[in-house]
Structure 1
Amino acid sequence: MAWMFLVLAGMGEMLGMLFLKLSDGLSKLKPSIFALLSGSLSFYFLSLSLKDLPVGTAYGIWTGIGSAGTVILGILFFKEKVNTKRIFFVSCIIAGVVGLKLVS
C-alpha cells in the first residue's frame, strides 16, 4: 500500500501545480482552493507512505513524479515548449524514480 500512497501523493503534487498555475497567483478562488486541496492530499498520502518507506526514497520518488508529471502537464495544457534537451532531462528524472524503486 505504501507504493500506491506514494504514487497518489505524486499525482496530488502534479494536480496541485496545475491548479496553482490556473489560480493566477492565487487570485482566482476555485483553482486556488483546488491547489490547496491537492497539495494537502499530496502531503497526506506522502505521510502514509512514510510509515513503510525510507524517507529519502519516498521523497525522491514523490518529487520525481511531481516534477516529471508537471513538465508533461505543462506541455499538454499550457503549450510549453518541447525540445530534445527537455525530453532528455525529464527522462533522466523518470529513470531516477524507476531506479529508486528498483533498489528499494
Structure 2
Amino acid sequence: MAWLSLIAAGLCETAGVMTISRLNQQRDARSFLLLLGAFGASFILLAYAMAFIPMSTAYAIWTGIGASGGALAGMWLYGESKDWRRVLFILMILGAAVGLKLVE
C-alpha cells in the first residue's frame, strides 16, 4: 500500500506541475484550487508512504516520478522537444530511482 501511495504521490506531483502551467494561462480560482489540491494530495500521500519506506528512497522516487512526469507531460501536451536525448535522461532518472530501491 505504501508503494502505491508513493506512486500516486508522484503522479499528483506531476499534476501539480501541470496546474502551474494552467494557472499561468488562466488566473482563476479553479486553477488555484486545482494547484493546491494536487500538491496537497502529493504531500499527504508522500507523508503516508514515508511512514513505511525509508525517507531517502521515498523522496528520490517521488521527485523522479514528478520530474519525469513533468517532462513527459511537457513533451506530450505542450509541444516541447521529444529529442531522444531527453527521453534517455528521463529513463536515467527513473532507472536511478529503481536502483535506489534495489539496494535499499
> Which TM bucket (shorter chain)?
over 0.9
**Distance in 1, Cα, partners of 2:80 & 2:17:** 14
- Is the 8 Å Cα contact of residues 64 and 97 (structure 1) preserved in structure 2? yes
Specify the alignment match of 2:61 in structure 1. Answer: 61
After TM superposition, the structure 1 = structure 2 runs for residues 26-45 of structure 1, keeping only pairs within 5 Å, are 27-45=27-45
Residue 81 of structure 2 corresponds to residue 49 of structure 1: no
The CA deviation string for residues 47-79 of structure 1, in whole angstroms up to 9 with x for no partner, is 000111111110000000000011111111101
Q: Normalising by structure 2, what TM-score?
A: 0.92
Runs of 4+ that moved beyond 6 A: none
Q: Take 2:86 and 2:28, find their aligned partners in 1: how far apart are those partners?
A: 30
Amino acid at match of 2:7: V
Count of aligned residue pairs for this structure pair:
104
- Letter paired with 2:67: S
Q: Give RMSD over aligned pairs.
A: 1.4
Q: Is the 8 A contact 1:23 1:29 kept in 2?
A: no
* Separation in 2, partners of 1:73, 1:101: 25
Which amino acid in structure 2 is aligned with residue 28 of structure 1? D
Unaligned runs of 5+ in 1: none
The equivalent residue for 1:18 is: 18
Alignment of 1:63-78 (within 5 A): 63-78=63-78
